[in-house]
Structure 1
Amino acid sequence: MNLQEYKEAVEKLNLYSYHYYVLDDPITTDEVYDKLYHEVVEYEQNNKDDILKKSPTMRVGDAVRDGFTKAPHLTRMWSLEDVFDADGLQKWLTKTYKLDKKISFYCEPKFDGASLNLIYENGELTQAITRGDGEIGELITQNVKTIKTVPLTIEYEERIEIRGEVVIFKEEFEKINEARMREGEAVFANPRNAAAGSLRQLDSAVTASRNLVFLPYGVGENALEHKLLSDKMEFIYSLGFRKPPQSSTCKDFAEIEEIYEVMKRDRDSYSMMLDGMVVKVNEIASQIDMGYTVKNPRFSVAYKFPAVEKITTVKEIVLQVGRTGAVTPVAIVEPTDIDGVVVERATLHNFDEIDRKDIRLNDKVIILRSGDVIPKIIKVLTHERDGSEVKYERPQSCPVCSSELLDEGVLLKCQNLTCEARVINSIIYFASKPCLNIDGLGNKIVEALFNSGLVKSVVDLFDLTLDKLLELEGFKEKKSQNLLNSLENAKGSEYWRFLNSLGIEHVGEVASKTLSEKFGSNFLHVSKEEIIACDGIGEEMAESVLEFVRVNKETILKLQDILKPLEPVQKEEAKENPFKGKTAVLTGTMSESRGDIKDMLENLGAKVSGSVSKKTDFLIYGEDAGSKYDKAISLHVECITEDEMRKKISGSV
């Protein structure tokens, strides 16, 4: 990097910073920013006379924006030095050990939210201030008082600054963006920006509606006398603050690495976004001795996770047709490595998403990969457009069978019941585990059967013979016989499995069980009012059932005749017990399969749901409980272990 490149890099970083901190509208990824920032740091270390006063290395956060009163922090809020791998951590430890060899470390998740400083005096919250430039921030006390995880009073009379991160749970973030889409408003790029934007509302009612969560990570001015940071933080949590998950102490590089790898592995199971782990010297006296550089504390470092956001280019938009005929667009992107996985596709959800984000072919975009979920485009970099971009036109015909598509606005649908894609996906679903669980009917086998002309509908599966299968390429006798045995074993399945296998739109496993228990095979003759009267079934689902029966009654009767599914046995009403009539959710690893525990609870008269809500009565958790546990805590749902559940059942509790 030469002087001119350095000046241009500083301008770029300041532009990125302005969009990130002030506008809550990032125009690049953390990875791109961090890379350029470290190039600037390296140049400045070798060319101290060239350092510009406006260099981002000379500041902590960014300017306070108009609209809020400015307020000073009692003590400065520092930013942290970043390291990105084990070598970087080892170098930081080497520097730290030179200052003090007799130290241990405190590790905690680095939450990806908005930093906040709370000032309490005489036990009352008097000020809440954003980070700002580290010395002066925005006074947003009224907004912060709406955050349920911020105590308005604490049992500590001395003046104290409690620092932390304000986050939005991932599930809540999706709800906020869905609501903004419905109102025609711009969506937030990520939960971090949603948290920052929610804090900076001029109307406190908007902040209150966003379900923000405050997670403390340290203190500023204080008169506490703890010798260890870990003890000091336990005291802070005892004042009524939420304790972050997975904070721990460790003694050396190996233990820090072990904790880091666990956090990195589990990052997607957290309710909130994490972008790394913070490592701090645990001994407070040593922290004081080590002090600060111009920008960072010497006693702490942010050990960042590999980037999950990357910039890439949209090369093509392809279409997929599902079993219900819904046509889903998928973006083909320039291959890019995200945390060791080469990403070439990104979900676009629906055609409204393309229009709303104005996604064009050849656009530069930011994609986000989270866990095993297909990556998604979270932002289009419109400022990077050069004129080569091409607008995407909504298709008029099915990409598989060429039938005219029904345009429902958000969705496009192929209405051709004999469309190859619809038939193949319907058969795959019919044979899947939650349905009839037919071994040997994977994607490639179903495609081969369809393309051979032997199977054009699920009914045709039961006309297959050994002779017919042996005529197909790749079908040996053992493989063919196993498939025929699996088809035979599907007969006599529980009625709810049969109902679920039909693939009625909006009707999944839970609704299939409800309808089966209530009506059995008589569901073919029930009215809309009778269906709606069932617990958990609304008008849309009822209409879907009635329409499916109207169109497919003959096929349903044929399948019933072939499969002879077992009519549901009327269960005896469960005796009184702590779970009767209650809604429970299971999470984590149990001593036996969750399916068995689910069956046991249902036999006790409980309803077992797959997600936590305000209607949940119990969360029953095992080892490695994830985001469901966090959400249950936030909703004040009673959380019990598997052992506690069994004690309740046996009447010990």
Structure 2
Amino acid sequence: MNEYLKNIELANTWAKAYYLDETPLASDAEYDELMKKIKEFEKNNPDKIAKNSPTLNVLPLKLDKINDGFNKVKHLSKMYSMEDVFDENELKAWIKKNNAEDEEFFIEPKFDGASLNLLYENGKLIVAATRGDGEIGDDVTLNAMQIASIPKNINYDKKIEIRGEIVIYKEDFLKLNEIKLQNNESLFSNPRNAASGSLRLKDSSLIKERNLQFYPHGIGVNELSFKTHKECMDFIRSLGFLKDDFCKVVKASELQAEYLKLQNLRDSKKMMLDGFVLRLNDLSKCTEFTSKFPKFMAAYKFSPYEQITKLINVSFQVGRTGVITPVGEVQSVNIDGVNVRFVTLHNFDEIKRLDLMLNDSVSIIRSGDVIPKLTSVYKQRRDNTQKPILKPQHCPSCNESLHDEGALLKCVNLNCKAKLLNQIIYFTSKKCLNIDGLGESIITLLFNEGKIKSLLDIFSLDENSFFALAGFADKKISNILNSINKAKDVKLSSFINSLGIEHIGEVAAYKIASEFKNEWINKSYDDYIKLDGFGEAMASSVVEFIKINIELINTLYEILNVKIDENSSLKFSNQSFVITGTLSKERTFYENIILENGGKISSSVSKKTTYLLCGQNAGSKLDKAKQLNIKIINESEFEAL
């Protein structure tokens, strides 16, 4: 009983922090697990259910008791939360409990964002309010007016509450955090927090920069006379609201298959999803509620992308430019079927911003194949065992003193082995010399065995270099040596990129090659600063690199057959491309064609954009291109160009 009461107290604290304070103290998965324990106890002890149980109350504290600077608005009809199911067995039990085996269901994605209620009267948006405690929300009307996907006027003059989710697309979330990183501000932990925090901005003028989106999913008070939820939502979306392409009516027997379909689409969706919503389509059967849930709908939750664990150690990796990157080791945690033990910590400024300490409870996010990231620190859980993370004074590889540049620590020792190894790995990689068969693991083995000590040693490898090394048959050795010889024919842009010059990536290397040809090593700072897109850091980096490494560059020129990039046709001269969405080939395939034909590639859509090359599940870039009347093309149209 004591454990049950403690769980209730903890669940109520977490619920208040999530719904009212909007500063979560736990992950969704933790909260769901805690609620399972509470429900299990109450199922076995129905006569001992506490009055303050979260299964009876949405929140332990009403929103009208909170003074946070926002005007409070009472919803005309209550905004309920949904009952959760977590696997096929629970789904079947829910269907059986509701006698819905023969029913039709309206299904749609459950967006991971912030709930919003829009009240329209006489065709005009009167009030926009957050969900709050379900009965009373915060008045965020001025902010909602700045969101392009929320119509200010609709072609319906009767009173109606339109409900939905405010989301931020994943690509916009990344941009937002990049800006915050540049401004030395704390990062948003996930798109949901970014959407929720944006709704509560005190300065409404900042909303447009966030590119928030509103997707309706239901209605409150209304005078509509439709018989099905699908008809109702079709009408709502005809008023000018957005619609996701995964909204449909299915039979109860099809729910599991549709859930799996959406789960497979999860990574390719523009916004974060945390589940799948199912509700009876027949509105005449959508009338019963518990104190907390509608009985006619449920949320079928996905495996979480976010978990909470503990940071147990921080190690330091040396990159090819000498930058020291802190890497966190956490207590192993399973996220969507993958055991995660290591996470990126970005840099030391981010550690400082997070106020991160060893042995902290932390939130880890992993999405698709993206490297897991540590996004939040739960300082409320500290127990005096935490220790500060100290900047290293010496390189973990060569032990030389490190150069402190504030956010970055750098090893400037030219003979540092870790730097050399990563330089060699990069030099041979796909976007550089592209030596097939000579991957990271083989290079690391050859480096550790002393067979490779520099970039030049790659071209001195022979059969004897692999003698006595396990796993190298004659054919494998022959293939590697043939690939090295083949890689000697290299485009100038790839050669420049392979050198690993700081601040110079694939696109910048192409600009250098296109503009200066082989004279690039003789150009000055004044020449480089004039290149389109080059700033002081880039220009200085190239000139300094040439000055220090001219002997190495000349030797590589003697070994390699460096070819001037062929762009004689210049079909895309003075044309700017932006690429978005999922394409049938890797993005670099299209980027190379554009660059080789004299075009430019930009990361954002503007009036200067010539074409938007658009794949499936395109995001905000597509919306922006439509607004600016930019020519939008698909893969077939691109090939036709």
Q: What range describes the TM-score normalised by the shorter chain of this pair?
A: over 0.9
User: Which residue pairs with 1:415 in the alignment?
Assistant: 412
Matched, 1:251 2:251: yes
2:139 and 2:404 map into 1 onto residues whose CA distance is 49
User: Which residue pairs with 1:359 in the alignment?
Assistant: 356
Matches for 1:557-636 after TM superposition, within 5 Å = 557-574=554-571, 581-585=575-579, 587-590=581-584, 606-609=599-602, 611-614=603-606, 616-622=609-615, 625-626=616-617, 628-633=618-623, 636=626
Is residue 632–residue 638 contact of structure 1 (8 Å, CA) maintained in 2? no
Is residue 116–residue 131 contact of structure 2 (8 Å, CA) maintained in 1? yes
2:419 and 2:591 map into 1 onto residues whose CA distance is 32
The Cα offsets for residues 449-495 of structure 1, whole Å up to 9 and x where unpaired, read as 22333321111221223334436565443333222211110122211
Is residue 20–residue 132 contact of structure 2 (8 Å, CA) maintained in 1? no
User: Which residue pairs with 2:188 in the alignment?
Assistant: 188
The Cα offsets for residues 97-120 of structure 1, whole Å up to 9 and x where unpaired, read as x2x555212211111111110011
AA at the equivalent of 1:632? L
1:183 and 1:601 map into 2 onto residues whose CA distance is 32
Quote the offset at 1:524 in angstroms: 0.5
Quote the offset at 1:86 in angstroms: 1.0
Q: Secondary structure at the match of 1:565?
A: strand
User: Which residue pairs with 1:19 in the alignment?
Assistant: 17
Matched, 1:94 2:87: no
Is residue 621–residue 629 contact of structure 1 (8 Å, CA) maintained in 2? no
User: Which residue pairs with 1:345 in the alignment?
Assistant: 342
1:536 and 1:274 map into 2 onto residues whose CA distance is 36
1:102 and 1:386 map into 2 onto residues whose CA distance is 53
Is residue 106–residue 250 contact of structure 1 (8 Å, CA) maintained in 2? yes
The Cα offsets for residues 153-195 of structure 1, whole Å up to 9 and x where unpaired, read as 1111121111011122333334444555565654433322222
AA at the equivalent of 2:282? E
AA at the equivalent of 1:641? N
Matched, 1:391 2:388: yes
Matches for 1:172-571 after TM superposition, within 5 Å = 172-180=172-180, 186-253=186-253, 255-288=254-287, 291-470=288-467, 474-571=471-568
AA at the equivalent of 1:15? T
Quote the offset at 1:49 in angstroms: 4.5
Quote the offset at 1:356 in angstroms: 2.2
Is residue 369–residue 375 contact of structure 1 (8 Å, CA) maintained in 2? yes
Is residue 567–residue 597 contact of structure 2 (8 Å, CA) maintained in 1? no
Is residue 633–residue 639 contact of structure 1 (8 Å, CA) maintained in 2? no
Q: Secondary structure at the match of 2:94?
A: helix
Structure 1 residues 420, 495: CA separation in 2 closer, same or farther (over 3 Å shift)?
same
Q: Secondary structure at the match of 2:490?
A: coil
Matched, 1:143 2:143: yes
Normalised by the length of structure 2, the TM-score is 0.92
Structure 1 residues 144, 470: CA separation in 2 closer, same or farther (over 3 Å shift)?
same
Matched, 1:57 2:50: no
Equivalent residue in structure 1 for 2:634, among 633, 641, 644:
641
Is residue 119–residue 125 contact of structure 2 (8 Å, CA) maintained in 1? yes
AA at the equivalent of 2:15? S
User: Which residue pairs with 2:86 in the alignment?
Assistant: 84
Which sits farther off after the overlay, 420-429 or 291-300? 291-300
AA at the equivalent of 1:225? S
AA at the equivalent of 2:387? V
AA at the equivalent of 2:285? S
Quote the offset at 1:635 in angstroms: 5.5
Is residue 495–residue 520 contact of structure 1 (8 Å, CA) maintained in 2? yes
Q: Secondary structure at the match of 1:313?
A: strand
2:460 and 2:36 map into 1 onto residues whose CA distance is 67
1:250 and 1:601 map into 2 onto residues whose CA distance is 44
User: Which residue pairs with 2:40 in the alignment?
Assistant: 42
Which sits farther off after the overlay, 16-25 or 39-48? 39-48
AA at the equivalent of 2:363? I
Structure 1 residues 172, 569: CA separation in 2 closer, same or farther (over 3 Å shift)?
closer
Q: Secondary structure at the match of 1:57?
A: coil
2:591 and 2:184 map into 1 onto residues whose CA distance is 41
Q: Secondary structure at the match of 1:496?
A: helix
Is residue 83–residue 89 contact of structure 1 (8 Å, CA) maintained in 2? yes
2:222 and 2:328 map into 1 onto residues whose CA distance is 52
Is residue 565–residue 596 contact of structure 2 (8 Å, CA) maintained in 1? no
User: Which residue pairs with 1:28 in the alignment?
Assistant: 26
AA at the equivalent of 1:581? Q
Quote the offset at 1:596 in angstroms: 5.9
1:442 and 1:139 map into 2 onto residues whose CA distance is 57
2:265 and 2:30 map into 1 onto residues whose CA distance is 24
Quote the offset at 1:362 in angstroms: 2.0
Which sits farther off after the overlay, 400-409 or 65-74? 65-74
Quote the offset at 1:403 in angstroms: 1.2
Q: Secondary structure at the match of 2:501?
A: coil
Say how many residue pairs are matched. 633
1:372 and 1:263 map into 2 onto residues whose CA distance is 18
User: Which residue pairs with 1:164 in the alignment?
Assistant: 164
Is residue 140–residue 200 contact of structure 1 (8 Å, CA) maintained in 2? yes
1:552 and 1:233 map into 2 onto residues whose CA distance is 65
AA at the equivalent of 2:242? R
Is residue 618–residue 638 contact of structure 1 (8 Å, CA) maintained in 2? yes
Structure 1 residues 510, 126: CA separation in 2 closer, same or farther (over 3 Å shift)?
same
1:182 and 1:586 map into 2 onto residues whose CA distance is 24
Structure 1 residues 511, 219: CA separation in 2 closer, same or farther (over 3 Å shift)?
same
User: Which residue pairs with 1:71 in the alignment?
Assistant: 73
Structure 1 residues 635, 21: CA separation in 2 closer, same or farther (over 3 Å shift)?
farther
1:36 and 1:13 map into 2 onto residues whose CA distance is 7
Quote the offset at 1:52 in angstroms: 3.5
Quote the offset at 1:46 in angstroms: 4.5
1:587 and 1:273 map into 2 onto residues whose CA distance is 15
Q: Could you tell me which runs of 5 or more consecutive residues in structure 1 were left unpaired when the two chains were aligned.
A: none
Quote the offset at 1:496 in angstroms: 1.2
